[in-house]
Structure 1
Amino acid sequence: MGLPCVLEAFTSIFEIGSISNKCCDELVVLGKVCHSVLVKRTLENPLFKDLSPATIIAKSIQTWNNCLGSIDSPSPST
């Protein structure tokens, strides 16, 4: 996963933001297990001790499900 997409995914989970379809594709290729472990490991970092794990996990699941939905549905033609 490229750094720009890592930042998009991070922002959509740990802050307020969205993730593009391109980055969703990269996230899904990464895999759900890897995605979940990265979120869990980030939550273990003392820099993020003030965040609510339940909220972050919920946002992580929402981001993952949104990405799966964006891949399953065809993109509008441009």
Structure 2
Amino acid sequence: MSKGYFGNRSDVNRKRVPFVQLGYTFCAISKLMMALIVFPLWIFFARTIDHFGKRHRTGAIEAVLSDEATPQAFC
């Protein structure tokens, strides 16, 4: 659900790079949290941030790839 939402938001704004950058930032922060934190609830929180970051960037990355694709690439 969030993948479609953020993909739609990047389509409306026509700016995809900030969505991709923010998604990768969330993932980087969550990986650091998982490396440093030992409490199970915080690990769950870090994994949630990681999944949110992945969903945040995926729609924009797919839109960038579809914008750059040419019809000859599919033949």
Q: Same fold (TM over 0.5)?
A: no
Larger radius of gyration: 2
What is the TM-score of this pair, normalised by structure 1?
Answer: 0.37
Bigger proportion of residues as helix = 2
Higher relative contact order (CA 8 A, sep 6+): 2
